[in-house]
Structure 1
Amino acid sequence: MAVNLRSGELMEIRAVRPPLAPEDIPHIGAWQKLRDELFAGQLQPVLDTRFFIGSIGGATVGSLGCYTPADTHDVGLVEFVQTDNGHRRKGIARALMQALIDDFESGGGQALYLCTRNPHAGSLYEQLGFEYLTGDGMRRVTPSVTAFDDSYLGAHGTAIIRDTSWADLPRAAVLYNHPEPRWMLKDPITHCYQDTRYERHFVDMRVELATTGGASLALAAPEERLVGLSAFMPGRSFFDQHVATMSFRTAPAYIKQAGELLAATIARAETHGVRDLRIPIADGDDDQYTLLVKAGFTLLTRIADGLRDGQGWRDLLWMTCRTTQHMPPARKQETFYAEREDWQHDRLTTSREIDPRAN
C-alpha cells in the first residue's frame, strides 16, 4: 500500500513475515537475544511476527514489528518503532502504526501493547488510541471490544497447566502489565517490580531458563488466555544447582487455581534436579504469602528494609520449599563454565605418574 506523507512524498508500506530477506534485516529492530531466531523464522510457528517497512523511492525510511500468538492473534506487542534520522517529522511512524493497527484489528485482535520513553512518540500513540497502563507501557483496546480485562483475565472456565512457549510473550504482557495483584515483586528472576512493564522480562526469562536448566509453566484458561505463570531458575554452578529461585503470578479471578500452579512447579523443579525452591516476596503481600504457605513453603529469612517502595522501606521475605531430601547432582561438575574438563584431569594424573615432583 502507498500513503502520502506530510512532506508530499509517497511512502510504500510492505508487511513481511520471517524469514526475512537479507536486504531487509539491517532496517528492522529486534531483541538481541532473539534476533537470529526471529529473523530466520524459527519462532513463526508459535509467535506470528509481522514487520511493517516503509520506503520512499526504494529506500527504507522506517519500520516496526507486531508480535501475536500464532494460534489466537487476540493480543499483540508493538516493538522497535524506528524512523530514519533524515526523514523524521514526516508522519512515517504514524502511517506505519496505522497500517499495523488496521491489520491487527482486521484479524480479530483485541489489545495492543507498546512502550515508549519518548514524549513525541507518546503523544502520537495517545492520538492513535493508546493509553498509559504500567510504567512506560501503553495499551490500545480495539474500540469494538468491551471490558477487555474482564473478558481476558476474568473467571471464564477452568484453566489448565502447560509449558510456556514464545506464543506467551504477548499474553504475558496482559497478565503482568495489569495492576492486580498488587504484589511488589512481579518476577524476582528478572527483577521486575510492581510498576514495571514486563515484555522484555519475559524474553530475558525464557532465554535464561534455556541456559540454566530451569522451566516455566503457564496457567492457561479457555482460548489460551494466560491467567497465571510460574518459573524457576537453578543456580549457575555445580555447588548451588540444587537451589532455584522461583517466581509466580496469578490473575485474581484464578487465585483458587494458584495452588495447582505452585504444586506443578514444585513437582517440575524436582525433575530438574532442584532440591530447594526459594522465592523472595515483599512483607505486606499477605495473599501471596498465604498462597505459598498453603503450597508448603516456609519462611527462610527476613531481611529488614530489603526493599524500597517509593515511600519507605519494606522487609524482604525469602520463602523456601524442599522438594525432596535427597537429590543427586543434575549436571556433572565438569559441564559448568570454567570447571576442569576430564581430559585435564587425565593430563594431571599422567604428569604426576611421570614426574614424582608433580605430586
Structure 2
Amino acid sequence: MADDVLSQGEIDALLSAISTGEMDAEELKEQQTDERKIRDYDFKRALRFSKDQIRGLTRIHENFARLLTSFFAAQLRSYAEVTVASVDQVPYEEFIRSMPQRTVLNIFSVDPLEGRLLYEVNPNIAYAIIDRVLGGEGIGTNKVENLTEIESRIMSRLFERAFESLEEAWGSMVDIDLTLEEFETNPQFIQMVSPNETVVVVSLNTTIGESTGVMNICIPHMVLEPIISKLSVHYWMQNEKSQSNPEDYEHLSKSLTHVDVEAKAILGESAISIEEFLNLNHNDVIMLDQAIDDPLTLYVNDEPKFNVQPGKQKRHMAVQILGELRGEDNHE
C-alpha cells in the first residue's frame, strides 16, 4: 500500500494539471472506475472463510496451543512451548505439496461432524518427543523412514492423548469426539478431500527442549461448514451472554462469602527527613496528617472502602463504620 500513496509534490502537480486543463477530472474519475471494475480471481484459491471467521479459528487454536504446552510439559518433564504461527486457507493440494516427503501424519475423525482432520508433526519435533518419553534428553533427529512399529505406536498414542486438548478448545463452539484413524509417514498416501478443496491450515511453532519445528492442523471446509456461523464475533458475544446462569451466580456468591480478606484502618501518616529520623529521642512527638476529628479510612485488601471512627469493643481496639466511600473518594 505504501507504493500507492502520493507524495505532496505529486499531489501539487496533479492539482496544477487539473486547474490548467491539461488533465480532465471527469476523465480521471472514469479511468479509476474502469480500473476497479476488473480484478484477478484465482478459482483454485477460493476464499471460503471471512477474516472474521479466521480470527475465530485463531482464538480457538490459541487456547489449544496453551493447553498443548501444558500437556507436553507435564508428559515430557521438559521445557515445552506451542504458539500459533498462522491460520491460512489454501487448496488441499498446495498444503500437501508444502510438506516434506516424509513426515509424521495423524488422521482423526471428528464425530459428529463430517470429514477428517490431518495433524502433521515435523519429524524433528516428533523424535524429540519420543526421545523424552523413552528417557532421553529430547534430541530431535529425522529418521522417519526407519520408524519402528514400537515408535509408531508410542507416537500415535501420545498424539491421540494430546488431541484431547483440541476437544476441550473446540468445546466452546461444539462438542466433538476425536478418534485416531490412521498413522502415516508419506503425504502422497493421504487423500482426505479433492485437490482443489479449500482447507484451513493452523501452523503451530513448537519447541521441545532445544528442538524446534512446526506442527500443522489441516481442517477441510466440509468439517467446519455445519458450524461456520459460530466462528463470528457476534456468536461469541451472544454465547458469552447466554452462559450466565443464575444458579452458577448464586453458587459463586456463596463461595465468595467464605473468602478471607485483610481489613485495616490507618490512624494517620507523616513524612520526616532522614536527619529528623536519626535525631529522634524518647518522648519525642511526631505529628500525623490526620486531624483528630476527621474519620479514618478502612482499607480492604489495600483498597479504601469505608469511613470509620476508632474505639473499643470489650478489650480490643475497634472501628465503627460511618459510611461507604464512593466515586472519587474511593480512588483517593
TM-score, with length taken from structure 1: 0.23
Larger Rg: 2
Tell which has more relative contact order, 1 or 2 (C-alpha 8 A, sep 6+): 2
- Larger strand proportion, structure 1 or 2? 1
- Larger helix proportion, structure 1 or 2? 2
TM-score, with length taken from structure 2: 0.24
